[in-house]
Amino acid sequence: MKLVVAIAVAVILSSGVESFSADAPPPNILLVMADDQGWGDVAYNGHPVLKTPNLDAMAAAGLRFDRFYAAHPVCSPTRGAVMTGRHPNRFGCFSWGHTLRPQEITIAEALKTAGYSTGHFGKWHLGSIQKTSPVNPGASGFDRWLSAYNFYDNDPILSREGIATQFQGESSQVAADAAIEFMREQTAKKQPFLAVVWFGSPHNPHKAAAEDAALYKAEGKKPDFLGEITGLDRAVGTLRSALREMKIERDTVVWYTSDNGGLPNLGSTGGRGNKAAIYEGGLRVPGIIEWPGRIAPRVTNIPACSEDIFPTVVELARTKTGSQHPLDGISLVPLIDGKMTAREKPLGFWNHPTGGIGTPHDKWASELFAAQKSGDEIGDKSRLVLDAAEIKRQYPEDSFPGHSAWNAWPWKLHRIHNKNDVVKWELYNLADDPQEATELSKQESDRTRRMQTELEAWLASVTRSLNGKDYATSR
């Protein structure tokens, strides 16, 4: 299977348009992601009590997105979109606990062809963290990995390239420290790196470090939730400080975001709804790119999305990207350089009604730890997801159940296909109505029809990918 993937990588990276030319070497890449942090769950977006001094400083120093979107309103799919530049339904990652397909080309595999060392640290949630799995981080292109099945809390057991290892410390800091060790090693060798740091905070259950929770003791039921965000903020500060200490901050792109919108009754969202919703509150998340060597500090209202990370990073790494696997994201290099004034390609979203798959990290990691202590390196083989590459079902290419949306800024069209096979349409002007409260499809009938056609054409394309038709053309 990996031979097929390697061949596909070579084909994809030799078939596209050459990236920009520059005298400086390609930058290091540090991708950082929170788990369940909504758009408003940072001080710089106006949270009344939350302390996030490091994210505030990063936002002030970099390119801050006012409208950055998670590819999906729950976790695993958005993480798959970061890895591939594709909507997660294209490879069957419908909801939490679903995996990548080994046929997909990941950002780690792409950058390895450009000479990068690659590392993953923290929450994985795209497959197994056991040895021999076709969907562990190593099988997805990472040279070094210290990873969790799912969200994880303080003093975690994590998998170091398949070996369960007990750690002590605040959960986000454990991942940051491992990433810093990796980055120092690569810097000493003058080796460009991709470091992916995916925190498990502020996913519930919330268990902040005592000193972080103490900052919010007057906030009712929120001290541990808010404290977890302050903990991850401190870990971000540690990462940024390490880059300065290594004197590589001007040569490193740091991209920060979250995997979906905020938590109900706890988080602060940037619109209607919250996690699991296709409305703005379930999709709109913090987004910052910091690169002192190239990015002038500023705020942009141009929409961008998790799927843009892959094509942007591929271009910055001076590889090539082709169209055997259709990408939903676009390169934001023109935006980084101040040459983009609007987004021409709309953003598509689709929350398919297929449910999630439970992957309890604490339980499974403890069991793997115990199995390895007794001499069994693999552990429970049913958790390897050995059938991840199999395409077991074909989906109708003219029926699109669930809730989808088409964001052609400032207009956003919703398509709500319910269990009774009835389709409802809703249109909103996000510039005037970020809460999506005033429905305009009847007043804007011509626009609605055009956007309906565009959205359903995109949904058909996604379904063709889901059915495996992309892979047939890249063999």
Domain membership of residue 212 (yes or no) is yes
What separation in angstroms does the CA of 150 have from each of 6, 99, 328, 336, 385?
A: 27, 12, 25, 32, 15
Which residue has tokens 């991850």? 232
Q: Are 332 and 304 in contact (CB under 8 A)?
A: yes
Domain membership of residue 404 (yes or no) is no
Which residue has tokens 């994985």? 124
Domain membership of residue 15 (yes or no) is yes
Confidence (pLDDT) at 450: 98
Which residue has tokens 């605040």? 170
The pLDDT profile of the chain, 475 residues, written as one tens digit per residue, is 444 444 344 433 433 333 334 578 999 999 999 999 999 999 999 999 999 999 999 999 999 999 999 999 999 999 999 999 999 999 999 999 999 999 999 999 999 999 999 999 999 999 999 999 999 999 999 999 999 999 999 999 999 999 999 999 999 999 999 999 999 999 999 999 999 999 999 999 999 999 999 999 999 999 999 999 999 999 999 999 999 999 999 999 999 999 999 999 999 998 999 999 999 999 999 999 999 999 999 999 999 999 999 999 999 999 875 446 899 999 999 999 999 999 999 999 999 999 999 999 999 999 999 999 999 999 999 999 999 999 999 999 999 999 999 999 999 999 999 989 999 999 999 999 999 999 999 999 999 999 999 999 999 999 999 999 999 754 4
Structure tokens, 161:
């390239």
From the centroid of its chain, how far is CA 117?
Answer: 20
Domain membership of residue 316 (yes or no) is yes
Q: Are 229 and 235 in contact (CB under 8 A)?
A: no
Domain of 220, in residue numbers: 2-346
Show which residues are catalytic: 75, 125
Domain membership of residue 208 (yes or no) is yes
CB atoms within 10 A of CB 366: 14
Give the β-pairing of 144-148 and 157-160: antiparallel
| pTM, 2 dp | 0.94
Which residue has tokens 């400086």? 24
Domain membership of residue 9 (yes or no) is yes
Q: What is the CATH number of the domain that holds 161?
A: 3.40.720.10
Q: Are 396 and 463 in contact (CB under 8 A)?
A: yes
Domain membership of residue 424 (yes or no) is no
What gap in Å lies between CA 413 and CA 459, rounded to an integer?
Answer: 13
Number of domains in the chain: 1
Domain membership of residue 471 (yes or no) is no
Q: Are 38 and 269 in contact (CB under 8 A)?
A: yes
